[in-house]
A and B are shown apart, each in its own frame.
Chain A
Amino acid sequence: MEVKENVKKFIKEDEAKKLWENIYKGFKEEGMDGIKKVLEEEAKRIQGEFESIKRDIEKQIGG
């Protein structure tokens, strides 16, 4: 069986399964860099939103 399916069997949550599929796709297409892209993209999105809210708060309380 394919690695992709083998791993999927051991993941319970649907969201994690989806993330795994993206990781695997990234790996197949661009190797380690592909994994990095997939994970960093999501982490950066969360971090970016966090930073934006943080800036708003800092403005409110005066830097």
Chain B
Amino acid sequence: MLSITKVKLKGFRGFVGEQELDFSSPITILFGENGKGKSSLLNSIEWCLFGKDCIGEDTGIRERIDWEVKNRNTKECYVEIEIKENDKEYTVRRVWKSKTKDELSIMLPEGRTIYGEEAKKELVKLTKNFSFKDFLTSIYQHQEVIRFFLVQKPQYRNEAIDRLLGLSEYRNIIDGINKVGIKGETLQDEIDKMSEKVKTKIEVWEEQIEEKKKELNNKGIQDNEISKDGARNLAANIKNSLKDFSQNINLNLSETFLKVDESKFNEFYELAKQEITRLRSEMPGIKKQKEIFEKLSRIKQDLNNYKSAQDVFSEKNKLLQEFIQRNGRIDELKKKKTDKEKEIKGKEKEKEEISLLAVLIEKAIKYLKSDMVINKNTCPVCGTEKEGLLDQLEKDYQEKYEKQLEEINKELEEKKNELKKIEDLISEYRKKEEDKMKFEGEFKKVSESIGNAWGIGERDDIEKCLNNFKNTYEDELKEIEITVKKKQEELNKIEGKIDILSRIHEVLKLESQMEKARNIERSDDWRKLQEKADELKKFAQKIEDIILAVKQASTDEAKSKIESAKEKISKYFTTITNHPMISQINFEVSEDPRTGSNSYEFNDQDKENIIPILSQGNLNALALSIFLAFAESQDSPFNFLIFDDPSQSLGISEKSKFLEVLNKIGEKRNLIISTIDNEFFDLSENTFTKSKIVYQFKDWSKDKGPQVEKGGET
């Protein structure tokens, strides 16, 4: 049998740097609080021996889904275990390469190292084809199994027992199949829905056909004409009508249309429509109509231009005439200006004369007032003597000349203003006359251009002439329109026939579709569809059969395993618990009628279910008893057992008894026990009679991993 003597590891899960631990003693105890690396160390033995088999969903261990092997803070990860078989020593080494790849090598007793497939084969030989599942149920007691076992829900306990019995794979496969959820009736349901849909369609089509037939009847089409022959005859009639029509207007029908088969309705329909559109556009009269429309449009445009030029010119002329009426003609204005200028000249002369006289008198006054003159009554100009001459002269000057000059100046001012007004009027006259002449020129140009375009003589009235042309063209247009309208109506009639043909065709199409739909469920395609639905049913049935077989195999294997271990389970349980009410346990399996999974029962000597009266500690003891019983029953290649936190809910007496059982097992097999339980650890110190090594897991850090101290050897 194989025993482990040493484990060396680096970068595995909680471990960072390389560490080496001696496992050569019969008992190895790993002691420390949770999260310090004990389980990582135990897991490393599994991984080294079974590689990726101990990772993932199908291990039956939930924690192993997305389980990371390599520590995130290291580049390198490997586990090396030294195993001994009799006196031969092997070193098994597994190196992590990637999430899906690792490298196995074994150093053989003679010192040669083998790799890859050769190493794998050697390992299978050494472990006697012992699978990971076997290892899980009979060598390595996982703490998760006990946790599940202690859960009160029967569903979880049954799952835990399945795992203890190594039956998780069955359960996982059933879960996997059920998750896909293939339903055999899915396609049959679709067929049924289709069948309903077809029936509904037929009903709708029947109604539509009835309605369309009624519409055709209303248009004078008899029921017997709503047929293939009827449609063909009508198509031939349409073709002939178009032939006659085109001949009448001296146009040809296209060769394609003439050759088209009347029974190929869609083609015939499209071509007939095209021919009608062409005939409508090419028919005589249409071109002439177009030309006249263009001419009328031009006349309208020219009339507008003519009138607008005429209006502007008339407006400008009217403004000039109104000005003349208000202010006189230009020669009159000019005369007024000359007269006004003469008047101003006369006034200015008068002013000059008075001014000269006034200066003279002013000088005489000044003289008379001077000291040189003694006789103030003698006039210095004429020598005449007059009493009070100076006073008289001053009075005359003020009353006569100053006043006169003032009046003359005033009159002059008024006359100059009048002259300015006359000049402004003359200027305004010239502007208006200029405007009038400019637009008169424009008007002449427009008239000339229109006259030339329409051949209107210089002396003719353009507006009248244009209106005459307009009336002539309108009359001509009316005549053409009557002819064209007649032709268009003929074509409308033919189009009406095409419309009827189209309606008949729609009815025929609906009837054909309805016929197809009525026969579809008897068609080959429908039969094939049914075959596919049956195939899915059969496939789903096969899956059901497989699920049933998986359940049966699982129960069968459970029964056989329980049979081989039930006495030992009973023995271990009663020894560990010393339960006063239970002297014997009958462990049985049956199929859960609800889920089809294994359902386990534990009855006492009186066939009473013991689970309701078991404490958490008792349940833990039961889980351990099942594990121990299988460990003993299995033909194992390993001479060691691994326990991970086995005393989870045990009382002190149960712990003590359990240790006694372990001590007894320890006589034959090495034990590797991991615990956080001080009481259990202390009890173990005094219980084991074989030599042991204790490793204390003191601390754990991200950079260094677990801090392990060898606690002593006994």
Contacts and interface: CB of A to CB of B under 8 A. Distances in A.
Interface of A: 1, 3, 6-13, 15-16, 19-20, 23-24, 27-28, 31-32, 34-36, 39-40, 42-43, 46-47, 49-50, 53-54, 56-57, 60-62
Interface in B317-354: none
A43 B467 CA distance: 87
Contacts of B513: 61-62
Given A20-B549, A31-B57, A32-B179, A50 B536 contact: yes
B1 interface: no
19 contacts: A3-B169, A8-B549, A11-B546, A19-B543, A19-B546, A23-B546, A27-B173, A31-B57, A32-B176, A36-B176, A39-B543, A42-B539, A43-B536, A46-B539, A50-B533, A54-B190, A57-B529, A60-B516, A62-B513
B545 interface: yes
Given A24-B173, A31-B57, A36-B179, A11 B549 contact: yes
B529 A54 contact: yes
B549 A23 contact: no
Which residue, A10, A12, A31, A42, has most C-beta atoms of chain B within 10 A? Answer: A10
A16 B553 CA distance: 15
B58 A31 contact: yes
Interface in B551-566: 552-553, 556-557
B67 interface: no
Contacts of A19: 539, 542-543, 546
Contact of A20 (B179, B187, B532, B546): B546
Nearest to B65: A31
Main secondary structure of the interface of B (DSSP, over half): helix
B187 A61 contact: no
Nearest to B512: A62
B549 A28 contact: no
B553 A35 contact: no
B236 interface: no
Interface stretch (B11-19, B86-94, B362-370, B520-528): B520-528
A3 B56 CA distance: 18
Given A27-B172, A57-B526, A7 B180 contact: no
Which residue, B57, B182, B545, B546, has most C-beta atoms of chain A within 10 A? Answer: B546
Interface of B: 56-58, 169-170, 172-173, 175-177, 179-180, 182, 186-187, 190, 194, 198, 201, 513, 516-517, 520, 523, 525-526, 528-529, 532-533, 535-536, 539, 542-543, 545-546, 548-550, 552-553, 556-557
A15 B539 CA distance: 10
Nearest to B56: A31
Which residue, B172, B539, B556, has most C-beta atoms of chain A within 10 A? Answer: B539
A19 B182 CA distance: 14
A57 B180 contact: no
Given A10-B553, A42-B539, A60 B520 contact: yes
A24 B169 CA distance: 10
B381 to A, nearest CB: 136
Main secondary structure of the interface of A (DSSP, over half): helix
Contacts of B194: 54, 57
Contacts of B170: 3, 7
Given A39-B182, A61-B198, A28 B58 contact: yes
A21 B58 CA distance: 16
Nearest to B168: A3
Contacts of A46: 187, 532, 535-536, 539
A16 B542 contact: yes
Contacts of B525: 53, 56-57, 60
B543 A3 contact: no
Given A7-B550, A19-B543, 11 more contacts: A31-B172, A35-B173, A36-B180, A39-B180, A43-B536, A53-B528, A53-B532, A54-B194, A54-B529, A61-B520, A62-B517
A31 to B, nearest CB: 4
5 nearest A-B residue pairs (beta carbon): A10-B549, A35-B176, A50-B532, A6-B553, A31-B57
Contacts of A31: 56-58, 172, 176
A40 B540 CA distance: 11
A47 B552 CA distance: 30
Contacts of B198: 61
B516 A61 contact: yes
A60 B190 CA distance: 17
Contacts of B190: 50, 54
Nearest to A32: B176
A23 B173 contact: yes
Contacts of B175: 32
Given A7-B546, A9-B553, A39 B536 contact: no
Contacts of B543: 19, 39
Which residue, B170, B528, B533, has most C-beta atoms of chain A within 10 A? Answer: B528
A57 B386 CA distance: 152
B633 to A, nearest CB: 16
A60 B198 CA distance: 11
B245 to A, nearest CB: 36
B129 to A, nearest CB: 10
A8 B550 CA distance: 8
A10 B180 CA distance: 22
A9 to B, nearest CB: 7
Contact of B201 (A10, A54, A61): A61
Contact of B546 (A16, A54, A56): A16
Contacts of A11: 545-546, 549
Nearest to A40: B180
A49 B420 CA distance: 110
A28 B177 CA distance: 14
Nearest to B555: A10
Nearest to B529: A53
Contacts of B57: 31-32
A13 B201 CA distance: 42
A51 B632 CA distance: 57
Nearest to B546: A20
Contacts of A60: 516, 520, 523, 525
Contacts of B58: 27-28, 31
Contacts of B180: 35-36, 39-40, 43
A30 to B, nearest CB: 9
Contacts of A62: 201, 513, 517
Contact of B177 (A6, A35, A49): A35
Contact of B545 (A6, A13, A34, A39): A13
Nearest to A39: B180
A57 B529 CA distance: 9
A34 B176 CA distance: 9
A14 to B, nearest CB: 11
A12 B513 CA distance: 47
A31 B527 CA distance: 38
A56 B556 CA distance: 49
Given A12-B545, A13-B542, A60-B516, A27 B536 contact: no
Contacts of B535: 46
Contacts of A8: 549
